[in-house]
Structure 1
């Protein structure tokens, strides 16, 4: 075997270990007796499920409420964000209108800057609209951000679909919406899956905007709640935090594992043209 191939495999192995070890350490810590993250070995000598039980029975932490809030925000953001991205990207890819190229250029420039740079502007806007401490405020932020982030992937995917399919449908008398709903949308499953997973995972684990907008303890999300759990002075609930982090990762892990085929197809197809 050539040295270059050996070196490539060695680097890949190191990267895999660097990615898996922290996750495995958190999982094992969630089953450890006590409340300290320090352990003499990766696998604890004694295992317990008490931390998982305490998450849903503790009167100090409303973990079930945090989970429900996060699920509602993530699902609604995914539905609205995917819908906006599908329609907006289809219009950009298929129609020619004044300002089309300028709009694409503006969105390309906006993608170059991290979202948290707009925190102050978003906060002031939501304050003026009296929408602070509101789940729908977060949903609007995530949904609008989904379109800006994924518009080029979706447009690239639409560009790979032959226009002859749409022309044939229009000859039969189909409207633009009928063409989109009955011809384009069924062919967009890989791209739709990719966008939905990206929007869901982003809104599921987001901390910055959730911490900025949500203030009430009964409205905060999992990321904010888990941060508050260990950020308090003299807090020693690290194993409880580990158990909460494990449960936080399950929905995203299941979705990515279940839909990985469509995820890869959507990403590669959307990047091949446009």
Structure 2
């Protein structure tokens, strides 16, 4: 009996040890590039490559130069506008679509869900020519609204599946009880069901908001005027010239670009675990 208890304790110790060791390694892999970016952003002079140096003199000159000698302010505002518009539109559309697929039965329901999955398998690169032709037809090259619609449309298929799965976890008995009490479809959705899916709404909002900050391909392909670029495309100009790379400016711009995402993340973080784990429980 004593040997059995010792073996159990040893197994638990090994389990905890390797779990914490893995988490520590994962943390180092994530934190190390962030430290390099932050230390480079506050470096006193430009450098030729990213490097971790916490002992050099730190300064805010790189941030001042971003807003005085470059178009970074325009890029930042452009990205914020596109990100907020994408977040609002995508959350509204995906929420309504997910609720419809979860609660109602109609012709083409099954096939349209399968069609969503098929669309999701098509890479963005394969659709670039179609996007360009469509933008030319609509006279929408170098416009924010067309790029925003592409971001929204690209996020609808898979996110609709996730929202449907989350709505499926809400008991239908609540809907039926509300309808017995005289509530209509809109009231059931707005007052009964919607408050229960706030965790997934938070997840959808963060994903949609992050998209324009991280996307380079679509924005590079469709935006032409230097003042109309997004942060990702604009920052690339700082390191695109091999003979004149502004590494410290790039790091400072990347640091500032991460701030809105971090703020939104910490504001919504209490909802994320529930939203991510429950969205795929039912299909």
Give the TM-score range, shorter chain: over 0.9
In the alignment, which residue of structure 1 is the partner of 2:264? Answer: 255
In the alignment, which residue of structure 2 is the partner of 1:26? Answer: 37
Q: 1:39 to 1:149 in 2, by over 3 A?
A: closer
Structure 1 residue 165 corresponds to structure 2 residue 174: yes
Aligned mates of 1:202, 1:167 — CA distance in 2: 37
Residues 1-274 of structure 1 aligned to structure 2 (within 5 Å): 1=10, 2-3=13-14, 5-38=16-49, 42-58=53-69, 61-274=70-283
Deviates more, 1:106-115 or 1:262-271: 106-115
Conserved 8 A contact 1:194-1:263:
yes
Q: CA deviation at 1:37?
A: 4.7
List, as ranges, runs of 4+ consecutive aligned residues in structure 1 with deviation greater than 4 Å: 1-5, 37-41
- Give the number of aligned pairs: 272
Q: CA deviation at 1:41?
A: 5.4
Q: CA deviation at 1:151?
A: 1.1
Q: CA deviation at 1:17?
A: 0.8
Q: CA deviation at 1:79?
A: 0.3
Q: CA RMSD in A?
A: 1.8
Name which one, 1 or 2, has greater alpha-carbon Rg.
Answer: 2
Deviates more, 1:151-160 or 1:179-188: 179-188
Alpha-carbon displacement from aligned partner over 1:162-184 (angstroms, at most 9, x marks no partner)? 11221222223332222212222
Conserved 8 A contact 2:48-2:245:
no
Deviates more, 1:69-78 or 1:30-39: 30-39
Gaps of 5+ in 1: none
Deviates more, 1:65-74 or 1:195-204: 195-204
